[in-house]
Amino acid sequence: MVAVIYAFNLAIAITGTLILIYLIYYKIKAATKSEERWKELVENLALDIDTATQNILLELPFPLVILKEDDTVLWYNSDFRNILGDRRNLLNKSLKQVFEDLDIEKFYQREDKFITYYYEGNHYRVYTNSVKNINSEKIRMLYWIDYTEYEELMDRYLLERPVIAFIQVDNYDEVLKSSKDSYKPLITAIIDRKINAWAKDMNAYVNKYDPDQYLMMFEYEYLSVMEEKRFNILDIMRETQSGNKIPITLSIGVGISDQKLSFPQLQELSKSALDIALARGGDQAVLRKDGKLSYFGGKTQAVEKRTKVKARIKAHGIKELMENSENVLVMGHENPDIDSLGAALGIFRCARFLGKEASIVLDKSNPSIDVLYKELMENGYETALSSSESARKAANEDTVLVIVDVHKRNLVQDPDLIDKVGKIIVIDHHIRAAEFIEESVLTYLEPYASSTCELVSEIIEYIDDGVELTEIEATALLAGIYMDTKNFAIKTGVRTFEAASFLRKNGADTLKAKKLLKDDREVLIAKSQALKEAQFIKGNIAIAIVNDQSDKANLITAQTADELMNIQGVEASFVIALGDNTAIISGRSYGGLNVQRILETLGGGGHMTVAGAQLTDTDIETAREMLKNAIDEYLKEGEDK
């Protein structure tokens, strides 16, 4: 504008120029002064912040320690000094001089940037933060938050969690029936008194809701006491003698979870644990925790139930399921034996009697059943046997699959077949293991039975009076009983003889049944060699090695274990063989040692007197050491009790 005025009036233009120069000078001076005042303000603010930071660090309500980049202590506040104690001086020293097990590197591996640390009775959460100082050096600040009170409250909460246990007297009726009338009230009173006394020691509430059943509630902290004493109420009750002729045994089921469960859920969990204890033969406690099972006790044989009511009920259920099916498939375990194939033949005959298409799943023969298999082929049973592939094609939602002599999914002839059928029935006499086939709609699991053939014989008897067994079927069932009872010498009850009598009436040939169990020359030689080289541990436990690696290894192992029990002084025998890169172990006893409990720790199972295990990718020497360790643990457990 001044420049334009120069064209019209020189005096006004000069005056305007002077004013413009003054305004420019004033603006520059004002801007300079403002910048100086802002710098002074910022500097004063920084000084205030440094002072505040120092005061905060000094007055922090929790311990703080500052470390150099090499983890030596640069500074710590008074609260951290209280952790160290007045006698401690860590300046310019490594923090690990006091906290030896404190792994600082863990801080840089965790997303939440804190670790938990226990020191001299206190629990700390240690947080970290990395910053750079004025010299651009990296320093680490560790904040120690004391959460001891929270941890103690959590521990108290966990220890006071409610636990439900179900207790059942296994043989209540049998004990009373075997006792004189004058002793019966005394026996009942003693059972009540001992269970209540044990509950009182555990600070538990116990309620008797049936003559032979009890419900107990207690706090979680007492569960560890029960485990430590290995549920000694089992031994206390078994040793009770008050006019009873047979030992009193209990089954206990306890279910717990790390997750918060309602009382109905706890009840269901504990009830299922009791069912497992009963299915395993009783006289034991089963602890079920988040799907994992622990077993305690199991020192006596399962008591034979003389009443056949259960057999009649199961037979009726099996008949109904078969009648409402399109076809029936029968399957045993892999490498079936006479008990497995004999039981399968019995179920096959029941299905055919009910007018159903039926077949037995069997891929190939093996040395244990070669003689029976040959007899079946000679008697026209080719169409009764089906391969796994053919069985899978025939299976549908209307198919009933009957699994005999096994209840573990991974041990059946064809595990894939289980998922292709609509209904599953399990019939077995082995002690229930953790890997049970849960999909079954009907389970007949009786550890007291001598064999699956005994159970199937009773089922045939009650399904219908019109079921007619062929001679080879009846003989195979009888041979299965012969094999598992060692010719009626072991694990034989009244019902075993009744089943044998029923089969004899239905045409079983006793001489042919014996022939089905005959050995060939190679098996006898291998057994003799293993018996000759058997070793003894603990004075009365025999361990033998079978060097035969043929397909007869399973048969030789089992029979050698039987033969070792004929040696005077032997209380238990174990035989190991190698087949297909798998160590096979067979165990036998007369009941003094529970071979099932020993081999169960190696992934096996069976009965107290007859059990087996298979260790994949294991050589003979490794299997021997694992077996010895399992025996030592079992014997040590007995000594601790």
Cβ atoms < 10 Å from Cβ of 294: 13
484 marked ligand binding residue: yes
What pLDDT digit, counting tens, does each position of 548-560 carry? 767 778 888 888 8
What pLDDT digit, counting tens, does each position of 461-478 carry? 999 888 999 999 999 999
| CB contact burial 25-58 (16+ within 10 A = b; e otherwise) | eeeeeeeeeeeeeeeeeeeeeeeeeeeeeeeeee
Contact 616, 579 (CB under 8 A): no
The secondary structure of the chain in percent helix, strand, coil, rounded to multiples of 5, reads 45, 20, 30
Cβ atoms < 10 Å from Cβ of 87: 5
Q: Hey, what are 30's tokens?
A: 């004002």
Nearest residue to 609 via CA among 592, 633, 584: 592
Query: What is the distance between the alpha carbons of residues 496 and 484, in angstroms, rounded to a whole number?
Result: 11
| CB contact burial 487-518 (16+ within 10 A = b; e otherwise) | eeebbbbebbebbbebbeebebbeebbeebbe
Residue 130 confidence (pLDDT): 74
Contact 357, 327 (CB under 8 A): yes
Residue 350 confidence (pLDDT): 95
Query: What is the distance between the alpha carbons of residues 387 and 385, in angstroms, rounded to a whole number?
Result: 7
Nearest residue to 204 via CA among 228, 230, 233: 233
Please tell me the least confidently modeled range out of 136-150, 194-208, 401-415, 446-460: 136-150
What pLDDT digit, counting tens, does each position of 173-192 carry? 888 888 888 888 899 999 99
Query: What is the distance between the alpha carbons of residues 411 and 390, in angstroms, rounded to a whole number?
Result: 19
Q: What is the mean pLDDT of the chain?
A: 84
What pLDDT digit, counting tens, does each position of 25-66 carry? 888 888 877 777 765 654 454 445 455 565 666 667 778 888
Cα–chain center distance at 332: 24
Query: What is the distance between the alpha carbons of residues 190 and 196, in angstroms, rounded to a whole number?
Result: 10
List CB contacts of 254: < 8 A, sequence separation 6 or more. Answer: 163, 164, 165, 223, 226, 270, 273, 285, 286, 287, 288
**Host H or E run for residue 52:** helix 10-59
The backbone torsions φ and ψ at residue 483, rounded to the nearest 5 degrees and listed phi first, read: -65, -50
Res. 505: pLDDT tops 70: yes
Res. 579: pLDDT tops 80: no
Residue 362 confidence (pLDDT): 93
pLDDT band at 135 (very low <50, low <70, confident <90, very high): low
Give the mean model confidence (pLDDT) for residues 77-101.
74
Res. 211: pLDDT tops 70: yes
Residue 302 confidence (pLDDT): 55
429 marked ligand binding residue: yes
Q: pTM for the full model?
A: 0.64
**Host H or E run for residue 353:** helix 338-353
What's the alpha-carbon Rg for the chain, to the nearest Å? 39
Give the mean model confidence (pLDDT) for residues 578-592.
83
What pLDDT digit, counting tens, does each position of 98-129 carry? 777 777 666 655 555 677 778 878 888 888 77
3-state secondary structure of 175: helix
Contact 329, 421 (CB under 8 A): yes
